[in-house]
Structure formats: structure tokens, C-alpha cells
């Protein structure tokens, strides 16, 4: 069997996490899937009495060999596809020649009988989506497990919460990690649902299966069963909500990954230093660098996804019974969406799986404001002593002086009492409860999916 080609190239696919998906989304994978659909169609039509069983056996055998040995010349097929606007037309011609050479008694029209190019391409795309989608879901599961472990281990580890780029109040690293876990889990569920909704496509030239009447529905259902795909109900040639929902789910996954990657990149910065990747990358010029390359790569990959989602959504206007351009725009766009989203998920799983957490740096950073992070807490108690509490605390914070040393505050509160208020561990609110609820919610949802 020929070695599978990468989806885009051996140079960048590994960096952006697409290595495992390359063979599943390559040009050869496309061709193999289309050949599989044609073979399954022959078997389905034999089951329904549309073609003889002998024809189906020959077609299935010849096409199975072609899938196995990868003998189709991809470049030549691509050149021939340009004339008709899709690769199914020259592929069917090529397959018919192979079948005739194997058994001249099999009529050529027993292959692809009653089908149209879109039936084959859409169903092949569904096969690619479900196969590569399973890999993406596996990477998301890995990332969720890693985030869950971080949330459990650091349920009580204090860290500065940051809003608008500034320290806000204390929280715990477990809260942050449980948010990562929850976002990944929700995105994974949405993707799983979108993949499960992808069905076979079969309707013939204009969606009515007129060439197979009265067997059209039976053939469509038998084809779905042969390929282990959901039955379609009715053809969806120009009703593209399935594709749009898949693209949207992939975009949501990329967004959930990008949020985590951005957090890790920030927390890994030299001045913050609260986390670091277990296998950081170096620099060609600076020996001291320890870059969070997995998170950086995940972030870079995820950034390319929204534009592709927009392309799919903008291509939903398939006119009448066959779109002129909108359908064609989906093929490579959706393939790239799967490749990039899968790469982002794989890279963030690697980042989370090897993430080193540094509580001592978190404690150090909690202390750098001299207690002003707990100004809200001080204001709350001070307001029981004076109506000017907020103004006094605001002014004290602006001096840069520790709050337990500010004369205006010491008029109302003893220094020891203020110092007690400045302990971050004493002002975590429902942080522990948030972690527990998040862990419980994800566990219950996962149990319900089993």
C-alpha cells in the first residue's frame, strides 16, 4: 500500500498537531472514501434487487483492491477533475475501466447506478469527518482528563484572579483549571452531537432518486447501513445545516482551546512564572528561553479556525437543487477545519498533560501589591466604621504603601486587624465550591453519555 500523503505538508503538520490527522484527511483519503462509497452503493443496490449480486461482488472486490493498494494516480485524477468541476466524474470513469478489465460481463452502469457526484462526495466527506472527528474527540478527552487532574490537585492553591489585565481578587488555580475543563467538555459534547448527526447522502441527479424509483429510499437506507452511517431521512443536497453545525462545533472547540492556550502563555511569562510546560521549547538565539511551545502552537492553530467557519456559514446558500460554487467551497474548507481543530486539541492536551504548576510564584505574585488586592475586603469592614471607607481605601492604594501602614486607615482599624484582612486564603469566596461543582457536573454528564 502506498504511504499516505500528509494533508498539507510534512514541514508544518507536526508543529501544529496535525500529524495524526494527516493520513485521515489527505487527498488519498478523499479518494479512498469515494471508492468505498461506490463499492457500498453496489452492495446496497444488490440488496435491494437493483443490480445482480454477481455485479456487486465484482465491483466490491475490484474497488476494495483499489482502496487497499492505493493505485489511483491522485495527480492525474485532479487534472481530469477540473473539466467537470469535481473528482467523482473521472473517478467513476476510471473505476469502470478497472471493473471491465476484471470482468467484462459486468455492465458499466452497474457502478454508480442512480447516484450523482454530490451523493458520493458528500458521503465521502461524512466518512472523513466522522473518522477524523473521533481523533479530535480523543484529544479533547485527554485534555479534559488533564484539566480535571489540575483542578483536583490545586482546588485550594491560591492565585491572583486577573481582570482586564490587572490583579483583581484571590481565587484558586483549581477554579481556573475547572473552567478549562468545563469549556473543553461543553465543546466536546457539541462536536460529538454534530458528528453524530452526519448522515449518508443519496438522492440522485436532482434529489428525487427518480432513476431508482420505487427503490430510492431503500437504496439510501441500505447504503447507510453498509457504511455504518445514520440514515438520511431525506436527501440534504442543498440543506446544509448539518455541515454548518459541524463547522460551528469545530469553531467552538478551537475557541475553548485558544482560551486555555492564552492563559498558559500568560502564566508562563518570565514576570509571572506561575506555570511552565514540562517540555518547553528553546530559541535559536537565546539559550535561556523556555517557551511554552505546545500552548503557542495550539493558539496559532486555533486562530486560523474562525475564518474557515465563516466560509462554511457563508456557503449555506445552496441554490435550488444543486449549488454552483457554494458546495465546492466546502470540500477543502471543512478538511482544513478538521485538521486545524484536531491539531489545536492535540497540542493543548500535550501542554496540559505536562504542565508544571508553581504555587510559590503564585504566592509571590499575590503579595506584590502590598495587600491592595484585598482592598474590597478592607473596604467592607471599614464601611462599618465610616461612610468614607471607599474613598479612604482608594487613596491608600494609590500611595503604594501597605494598607496596614496607612495612617488614614489606622484611625479606624488596628494594623493587626487589617493584616488579618489581607490574607488571600481568607477571601476565596466560593472558590472551593466552584471546583467541586464543576468536577461533579462534568462527571455526571460523562456518566450519562456512557
Domain boundary assignment for the chain? 1-115+215-221, 116-199+236-366, 367-449
Q: Which position has the grid cell 485558544?
A: 258
Q: Does residue 1 register a pLDDT over 50?
A: no
Domain covering 367-449, topology: Ribonucleotide Reductase Protein R1; domain 1 (1.10.40)
Lowest mean pLDDT among 137-151, 282-296, 304-318: 282-296
User: What is the pLDDT, as a whole number, of residue 281?
Assistant: 55
Rounded to 10 degrees, what is the CA torsion of 292, 293, 298, 304?
120
- pLDDT band at residue 8 under the 50/70/90 scheme: low
Query: CA-CA distance, 409 to 421, in Å (whole number)?
Result: 13
Q: Which position has the grid cell 469515494?
A: 34
E strand residue ranges, 137-177:
158-163, 166-172
- pLDDT band at residue 10 under the 50/70/90 scheme: confident
| Of 71, 269, 279, 283, catalytic | 283
**Mean pLDDT of the chain, nearest integer:** 93
Q: Does residue 225 register a pLDDT over 60?
A: yes
CATH class of the domain defined by 116-199+236-366: mainly alpha
Domain covering 1-115+215-221, topology: Fumarase C; Chain B, domain 1 (1.10.275)
Q: Does residue 340 register a pLDDT over 60?
A: yes
Query: CA-CA distance, 256 to 182, in Å (whole number)?
Result: 9
Write down the pTM of the prediction.
0.92
Q: Does residue 308 register a pLDDT over 90?
A: yes
Active site residue 322: yes
| Of 8, 186, 322, 390, catalytic | 322
Active site residue 351: no
Q: What is the pLDDT of residues 413-431, one digit of tens each?
A: 999 999 999 999 999 999 9
Tell me whether residue 267 is exposed, middle or buried, using C-beta atoms within 10 angstroms of its C-beta: 0 to 12, 13 to 18, 19 or more: buried
Amino acid at each position: 500500500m502506498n504511504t499516505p500523503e500528509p494533508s498539507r505538508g510534512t514541514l508544518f503538520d507536526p508543529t501544529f498537531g496535525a500529524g495524526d490527522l494527516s493520513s485521515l484527511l489527505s487527498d488519498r483519503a478523499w479518494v479512498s472514501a469515494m471508492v468505498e462509497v461506490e463499492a457500498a452503493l453496489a452492495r446496497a443496490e444488490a440488496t435491494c434487487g437493483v443490480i445482480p449480486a454477481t455485479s456487486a461482488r465484482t465491483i466490491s472486490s475490484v474497488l476494495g483492491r483499489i482502496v487497499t493498494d492505493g493505485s489511483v494516480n491522485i495527480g492525474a485524477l485532479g487534472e481530469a477533475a477540473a473539466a467537470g468541476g469535481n473528482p467523482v466524474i473521472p473517478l467513476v470513469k476510471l473505476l469502470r475501466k478497472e471493473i471491465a478489465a476484471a470482468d467484462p460481463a459486468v455492465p458499466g452502469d452497474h457502478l454508480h447506478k442512480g447516484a450523482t457526484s454530490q451523493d458520493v462526495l458528500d458521503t465521502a466527506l461524512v466518512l472523513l469527518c466522522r473518522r477524523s472527528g473521533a481523533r479530535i474527540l480523543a484529544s479533547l478527552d485527554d485534555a479534559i482528563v488533564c484539566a480535571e487532574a489540575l483542578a483536583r490537585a490545586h482546588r485550594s492553591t491560591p492565585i491572583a484572579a486577573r481582570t482586564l489585565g490587572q490583579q483583581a481578587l484571590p481565587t484558586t488555580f483549581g477554579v481556573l483549571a475547572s473552567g478549562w475543563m468545563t469549556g473543553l467538555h461543553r465543546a466536546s459534547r457539541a462536536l460529538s452531537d454534530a458528528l453524530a448527526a452526519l448522515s449518508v447522502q443519496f438522492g440522485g441527479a436532482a434529489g428525487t432518486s427518480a432513476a431508482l424509483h420505487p427503490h430510492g429510499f431503500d437504496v439510501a437506507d441500505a447504503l447507510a447501513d453498509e457504511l455504518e452511517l445514520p440514515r438520511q431521512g431525506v436527501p440534504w443536497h442543498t440543506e446544509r445545516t448539518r455541515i454548518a453545525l459541524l463547522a460551528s462545533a469545530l469553531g467552538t472547540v478551537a475557541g475553548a482551546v485558544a482560551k486555555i492556550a492564552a492563559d498558559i502563555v500568560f502564566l508562563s511569562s518570565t514576570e509571572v512564572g506561575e506555570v511552565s510546560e514540562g517540555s518547553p521549547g528553546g530559541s535559536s538565539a537565546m539559550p535561556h528561553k523556555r517557551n511554552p511551545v505546545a500552548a503557542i502552537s495550539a493558539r496559532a492553530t486555533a486562530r486560523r479556525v474562525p475564518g474557515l467557519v465563516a466560509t462554511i456559514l457563508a456557503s449555506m446558500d445552496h441554490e435550488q437543487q444543486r449549488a454552483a460554487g457554494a458546495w465546492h467551497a466546502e470540500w477543502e474548507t471543512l478538511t482544513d477545519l478538521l485538521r486545524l481543530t484536531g491539531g489545536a486539541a492535540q497540542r493543548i492536551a500535550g501542554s496540559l498533560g505536562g504542565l508544571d504548576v508553581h504555587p510559590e510564584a503564585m504566592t509571590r505574585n499575590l503579595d506584590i501589591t502590598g495587600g491592595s488586592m484585598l482592598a474590597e475586603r478592607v473596604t467592607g469592614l471599614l464601611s462599618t466604621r465610616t461612610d468614607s471607607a471607599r474613598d479612604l481605601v482608594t487613596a491608600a492604594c494609590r500611595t503604594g504603601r501597605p494598607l496596614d501602614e496607612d495612617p488614614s486607615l489606622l484611625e479606624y482599624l488596628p494594623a493587626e486587624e487589617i493584616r488579618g484582612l489581607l490574607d488571600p486564603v481568607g477571601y476565596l469566596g466560593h472558590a472551593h465550591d466552584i471546583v467541586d461543582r464543576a468536577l461533579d457536573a462534568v462527571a455526571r454528564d460523562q456518566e450519562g453519555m456512557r
